[in-house]
Amino acid sequence: MLEAIHGLNIALPIMYIITFTLYVIAFFNDDSGLNNIKRVFLFLACTTHIFYLLVRTIEFNHPPITSKFEIFTVLAFAIACSYFILELVTDIRGTGLFIIFFSVLFQVISTFYIQDLMEVREVLRNRMLGMHVISALLGYSGITISAVYGLLFLVLYKDIKLNKFSIIFDRLPSLETLENMSFISLVIGFLLLTISITIGIIWLPGAFPDFSFFDPKLISTALVWLVYGTGILIKLFGIWYGKRVIMFSLTGFVIAMFSLLLSNIFASSFHSFY
Amino acid sequence: MNIVGISINHRNSPVELREELHLNREEIIDYIPRLKNYLSEGFVLSTCNRTEIFGYPESEKVDVDGIINSLKDFKPVKNFNDKNYDRYFSCGAVKHIFSVSTGIDSLILGDSQILGQVKEAIELSKDLDFAGATTNRLFDTAIKVGRRAIKETLIGEGAVTVSYAAVQVIEKIFANLDKKHALVIGAGETGELAAVHLRDKGVGRITIANRTYEKAEKLAEKIHGDIIPLKNVGEDLHHFDIVVSATSSSDYIISKDDVKKMMRKRRGTPVCLMDIAVPRDIDPKVKDIENVFYNDIDSLQIIVKQNMKKREKEIPLVEEIIMDEMVSYFGWYNTLEVVPTIKSIREFFEEIRQDELSKIRHKVTEDDYAKLENMTRRMVGRLLHNPTMKLKEVAESGANASQITAHTIIAKELFGINNGKHQNNE
């Protein structure tokens, strides 16, 4: 089983790189012939990744959330899988390379640094923690995908405003589509983040003796949740449209990443397991 | 029998001459009987940018001058001389017809309308009994070439007119055009084209505004839209997601303040302003307003030029398709000459066989006669198998006409066949 895990650990970044390359070629050559092939490769990569995560969980007797690099592989999977579902549902195929890039990045880092951790803190084997972390990761994946679409929106917005009709103009879907995809990803990410926070609030106080509501990570997560929640309400009530909503969403993303960085690296927290 | 034709187009004639020589449907119906004095079968294709007359001559003598003179008699125009048309024969004529149907010979490269116009010309020829087997085969191949060019290349892709480029930009801004409301200001040629494009793209609702109410009404009826008076445009502007302006006004119809008010009433929802008028109808400073997308003719021309370059890159691929279909067409055409020769040779051999059999009819029993008949039939079949296959092979290989002719002449001379009759020198 260990050999299989190591083999898959090497195979996964290769599969993601091949998939990413296919998306890049299709984008720059406007090659509709590759449309189905690239989707098949993405499906294969995601399926292989599910298998990898399951095998790791079984072999090491804990979900792969006990180290940064285990989190990275789960994040890579969450982003790829979320995009695959989004592409299937919307049939918008020209934006994959911008999303799958992040899966490649996270998986490559994970492949290089991930360790086979047999011995971990008992709390990390807990299923509730697993659900809490995985829903949080899925939430942040949704937010990341939303941010990518937001950036693409801004790039296309600027190009159209400046009458620049480059490959970006040709290949990307419409501004309205990018805005909608950004919003849908954001809503899904927000809902999953809400589930994660809810599980955390219900379960964490009992699981950790040194639990505190003033924990830096909790504060930063709450801040992110409030920013995104506000953004969603602004959009739903039609207070802002188009570029303003996107800018607000991207600001939220920057705050999210910044606060995650701060709370993970600089602040001590009961959340620190590794 | 070789196809001949003339082509009056944007390369050899100015637009005024092309307009004067244009034949509408009724005129073509009247003209074709005159053409039948020169061509046994053919067609006439006449659009705003070209008039093509092609066909197969009545006699072996090719009389292109006759065709030209018949056109001049039918449509007397001044300043129509030899420089204003191109002559085509045989392979060149077929290649030209295929080039026309693919759109690579059009004024706007990759013109999507020409194939439909070619089909109409063909149907009219058939209705007027001017299309025989050869012309029908040529037409079928021309349509096939046109369809292949559309399907297998990008020759017809992308906007190559300003109106269509405007629609391309609109599609890059809005996703669900069926939920959008568009305003077209100006019911002239440009405005009409824009309105038709918007309708074809599925814009949910189109409103027309024009200085002359009757013109607005006519255009609205054509595209199933509605009308507002031009003077109401300012106060109603916020209802529209898309505004296309194409008037001949010398002043701005829509100012920056109008658009600011519009955006306040729309609460900032994106709007697309396409100014395809010269001089411009909309103050270009509106592009500074957030969520307002403004394009004028200059910026739309950038898209047109880019798309034209892409189409130009497709020309070699289209030419390959044309060559491919020309080989196939001439492969079939050459068999027309070969088939009668093969038939004549077979008839010659059969005549000899029957003649010899008749000489021994009463000298052998019925059974022996039947055996001799079978044997001689098989012998003739085997003897003629190779010559027949060889002649067909040469014809279907797409070899040029002179090679085919040489083979058939040799075959006829070897067996003493002239004009379908053999010369038996026994």
Which amino acid is residue B211, in one-letter code? R
The SS3 of residue B244 is strand
Q: How do residues A155-195 score in pLDDT, each as one tens digit?
A: 999 999 998 888 888 889 999 999 999 998 999 899 999 99
What interface predicted TM-score (ipTM) does this complex get?
A: 0.83
Whether B295 sits inside 8 A of A163 (CB atoms) is yes
Q: Maximum Cα–Cα distance for chain B, whole Å?
A: 114
Which amino acid is residue B283, in one-letter code? D
Q: How do residues B116-167 score in pLDDT, each as one tens digit?
A: 999 999 999 999 999 888 889 999 999 999 999 999 999 998 888 888 899 9
Residue in B171, B269, B303 closest to A165 by CB:
B303
Mean pLDDT of B392-410: 71
Q: What is the pLDDT of residue B393?
A: 78
Measured on CA atoms in the order B226, B227, B232, B233, is the torsion positive or negative?
Answer: positive
Q: How do residues B304-320 score in pLDDT, each as one tens digit?
A: 999 999 999 999 999 99
Quick check: A174 and B172 in contact, CB under 8 A? yes
Q: Which residues make beta-bridge pairs with B274?
A: B244, B295
Residue in A174, A180, A240 closest to B173 by CB:
A174
Portions of chain B given CATH number 3.40.50.720: 162-290
At the topology level, CATH places domain B4-152 in Beta Polymerase; domain 2 (3.30.460)
- In the numeric block, the tokens 């055996």 are attached to B371
Whole-number percent of chain B with pLDDT over 70: 95
Burial of B196 from C-beta contacts in 10 A (0-12 / 13-18 / 19+) = middle
Which residue of A92, A241, A245 is the best one to mutate when testing the B interface, meaning the one whose CB has the most B CBs within 10 A?
A241
Predicted TM-score (pTM) of the model is 0.77
Q: How do residues B214-253 score in pLDDT, each as one tens digit?
A: 999 999 999 999 999 998 898 899 999 999 999 988 899 9
Q: What is the pLDDT of residue A269?
A: 53
Q: What is the mean pLDDT of chain B?
A: 89
Q: What is the pLDDT of residue A273?
A: 52
Which residue of A154, A174, A184 is the best one to mutate when testing the B interface, meaning the one whose CB has the most B CBs within 10 A?
A174
Query: Which string of b and e fits B397-424 if b means at least 16 CB within 10 Å?
Result: ebbeeeebeebbeebbeebebeeeebee
Token pair in block for residue A120: 């971990």
How far does Cα A114 stand from its chain's mean position?
A: 19
Q: What is the pLDDT of residue A92?
A: 85
Quick check: B88 and B5 in contact, CB under 8 A? yes
Mean pLDDT of B4-11: 92
- B91 an active-site residue? no
DSSP assignment letter at B128: T
Whether B291 sits inside 8 A of A173 (CB atoms) is no
What tens-digit pLDDT sequence spans chain A (274 residues)?
A: 888 888 999 999 999 999 999 999 999 887 667 888 999 999 999 999 999 999 998 888 878 888 888 889 999 999 999 899 888 888 888 899 999 999 999 999 999 998 887 766 666 667 778 888 888 888 989 999 999 999 999 999 999 999 888 888 888 999 999 999 999 899 989 999 999 989 888 877 777 766 677 777 788 888 888 989 998 998 888 878 888 888 888 988 888 888 777 766 665 555 555 4
Residue in B269, B302, B303 closest to A241 by CB:
B269
Q: What is the pLDDT of residue B62?
A: 66
Q: What is the pLDDT of residue B426?
A: 45
Q: Degrees (nearest 5) of the Cα angle B309, B310, B314?
A: 110
Token pair in block for residue B123: 């149907």
Q: Active-site residue among B48, B278, B379, B409? A: B48
Compute the distance between CA of residue A192 and CA of residue A140 in angstroms, rounded to an integer. 8
Quote helix, strand, coil % in chain A, to nearest 5: 80, 0, 20
Question: Which of B89, B91, B87, B101 has its CA nearest to residue B139?
Answer: B101
- In the numeric block, the tokens 């990570």 are attached to A217
Compute the distance between CA of residue A230 and CA of residue B399 in angstroms, rounded to an integer. 76
Compute the distance between CA of residue B103 and CA of residue B150 in angstroms, rounded to an integer. 9
- In the numeric block, the tokens 């830096």 are attached to A216
Residue A246: count of CB within 10 angstroms of its CB: 27
Reported as a pLDDT band with limits 50, 70 and 90, residue B425 is very low
Contacts 24+ apart (CB under 8 A), A48-55: A48/A8, A48/A11, A48/A12, A48/A15, A49/A12, A49/A73, A49/A76, A49/A77, A49/A80, A49/A81, A50/A77, A50/A81, A51/A8, A52/A5, A52/A8, A52/A9, A52/A12, A53/A77, A55/A1, A55/A4, A55/A5, A55/A8
DSSP assignment letter at B227: E
Measured on CA atoms in the order A80, A83, A89, A95, is the torsion positive or negative?
Answer: negative
- Enumerate residues 141 to 180 of chain A having a beta carbon within 8 A of any beta carbon in chain B: 156, 160-161, 163, 165, 169, 172-177, 180
Nearest CA-CA distance, residue B171 and chain A, Å = 7
Residue A131: count of CB within 10 angstroms of its CB: 15
User: Who has greater pLDDT, A40 or B79?
Assistant: A40
Q: Which residues make beta-bridge pairs with B54?
A: B5, B43
Token pair in block for residue B22: 């244009």
State the CATH architecture for B162-290.
3-Layer(aba) Sandwich (3.40)
Quick check: A183 and B309 in contact, CB under 8 A? no
Which residue of A165, A179, A246 is the best one to mutate when testing the B interface, meaning the one whose CB has the most B CBs within 10 A?
A165
Whether B173 sits inside 8 A of A165 (CB atoms) is no
Measured on CA atoms in the order A47, A53, A55, A57, is the torsion positive or negative?
Answer: negative
Q: What is the pLDDT of residue A125?
A: 67
Burial of B188 from C-beta contacts in 10 A (0-12 / 13-18 / 19+) = middle
Token pair in block for residue B94: 């077929």
Residue in A165, A176, A240 closest to B173 by CB:
A176
3-state per-residue secondary structure call for B285-309: HHHHCCCEEEEEHHHHHHHHHHHHH
Q: Spell out the alpha helix ranges (H) of A118-174.
A: 127-161, 167-171
Compute the distance between CA of residue B212 and CA of residue B67 in angstroms, rounded to an integer. 45
Sequence spans of domains, chain A: 1-120, 131-274
Token pair in block for residue B398: 């797409």
Which amino acid is residue A193, in one-letter code? L
Q: Tell me which chain B residues have a C-beta less than 8 angstroms from the C-beta of A161.
A: 287, 293
Mean pLDDT of B374-384: 92
Token pair in block for residue B253: 């119809």
Token pair in block for residue A121: 């803190």
The continuous run of DSSP H or E covering A190 comes out as helix A175-207
E strands, B270-379, are 271-275, 292-296
Question: Which of A136, A2, A14 has its CA nearest to residue A74?
Answer: A136
Portions of chain B given CATH number 3.30.460.30: 4-152
Nearest CA in chain B to A158: B293
In total, chain B counts a number of residues equal to 426
